[in-house]
Structure formats: structure tokens, C-alpha cells
Amino acid sequence: MINFKQEIAKQIAKASNLDEKELETYLEIPKDVKNGDYAFPCFRLAKDLKKAPPQIANEIKEKLVVDKTIIEKVEVLGGYLNFYTNRQALTKEVLVQMANSEEYGKSELGKGKTIVVEYSSPNIAKPFHIGHLRTTVIGSALYNIYQYLGYQTIGMNHLGDYGTQFGKLIEGYKRWGNEYNLEDKPIEELMKIYVRINELCKEDETVLEACRENFRLLEQKDSYCVELWERFKAVSLKEFQKIYDMLGIRL
């Protein structure tokens, strides 16, 4: 196994006659990936060597003899020596480590912290579409990563389960509910009702007013409207769950 920090420290030690172990503790990972994979701050040596950090960096670079199969290149940036690892070697090393560990990358970085990841968020009584699939998959990946890093992770599904459209659905169901089987294909059937009542609203303003009245009643906890809303919600969630189970999604 390649220990890149050790290899870099060893080469700097040869070029500077300084202690390898101490040099290894000085190595940093740059905040900007453009500046390499490891950085050696020559400021640490300025006092003892009585030279400016950029001068020290350039002098060490001139004496470095790096193994190109491990370190691809070395660049000086101000008072830093930036080391770029060989991508092929790094990839191979990561794959070896992953193969030898069932918990590769696991940590307690988030111990004692809680994080909420909101994802999926489909609309009740409407089809689960590609936009929902994208946020579901990305959200679930983030959930798994944060959990693996030790965070107490909460996966939240904020449902689009309220609004004027439910006043329309309630009105549609009042008029034609016995024509549709919500147990067989609930989302598909609810969409048919919604499209049908929407068309009627365009033709007849009084129908639209009735839909608005249904939503007002729903907000006031009218028992009939609430019962229908709860049913629409239940059959929709049951249908969504089939997709979540297929994808192995936890919410």
C-alpha cells in the first residue's frame, strides 16, 4: 500500500536534510483541489533556514527526485510546495483500500450532530415523475453518506398535499367518484378526475366557485372534505411506496 504523505515527506527529507517524521506532520491537504493533493508549507522552515518561504520552496523543488508513478508533478505556489499524486496510482490505492475494508470511509465526523435531508417531495394525487426521481436518488445518497459519517440523519419527505387542487378533486369526486376505481390505479384515476374537473371549471365559473368552497371547508376541517383528502393521501402514499421500495429508499 502506498502512503502518499510518507513518500512526499521522504523525498522532501532527502532534498532538505530535515527530519522525515517531522516533515510529514507539516503536510496539508489544500482547500482548493487546483492546488494539488498535498501541500508543504515552507513557512515552517523559514525561521530555521533564515530564508523566504518561496525561496525555500524553489530550492527544495530543484533537489526533489520524485517517482512519477506516485507523484505526477510538483509546483511552487508562493511559499508552498504543491504535490499532485499520480491519478492511476491513487485510484488503484483507493480501490485496494475499499476491497480490504467493509467500512471504507466511515467516520464519526458527525457524532453528536443532527442533519435533515429533504428529498423526493412528490405531489399527492399526481404521478411520480422524473424530477421527483432525481431528487429522491440524490437525497437518498446524501442521507446514506451523512449517516455513514456519524450524523443522526433524518430523511424528510415534504408532500405537496394541500392547496386549491384538492378543492377541485373533492368536487370531481363528489360528481363522478363512482365512475373511478381508486384502489386499482389511484394516481391515474385521480389524475383523470382532476383533468375532467379542471376542464369543467374553464367552462363554468360556478363549478370553480364550488371547488374553492370545498377547499375553504377543508381548511375548516369539514368532516366529509377531510375524509376525502385523507383518502386521496393514503392511496397516493401507498402508490409512492411501491417506487420507494423498488429503489430501497428510506424516509
Same fold, 4-90 and 107-251: no
Cβ atoms 161, 168 nearer than 8 A: no
* 165 phi/psi in degrees, rounded to 5: -60, -25
74: three-class secondary structure by DSSP: strand
- What digits encode the pLDDT tens for the residues 152-204? 999 998 888 778 889 999 999 999 999 999 888 899 999 999 999 999 999 99
41: three-class secondary structure by DSSP: strand
What is the model's pLDDT at position 37?
Answer: 95
* Domain at 107-251, CATH class: alpha beta
**In the chain, where the domains are located:** 4-90, 107-251
**Hey, which residues are catalytic here?**
126, 129, 132
Cβ atoms 197, 211 nearer than 8 A: yes
Cα(106)–Cα(89) distance, integer angstroms? 22
What is the model's pLDDT at position 158?
Answer: 85
Cβ atoms 115, 146 nearer than 8 A: yes
Q: Tally the C-alpha atoms within 13 A of residue 135's C-alpha that lie toward its C-beta.
A: 15
What is the model's pLDDT at position 110?
Answer: 95
Residue ranges, the chain, pLDDT below 70: none
* 144 phi/psi in degrees, rounded to 5: -65, -40
Please name the fold of domain 4-90: Gyrase A; domain 2 (3.30.1360)
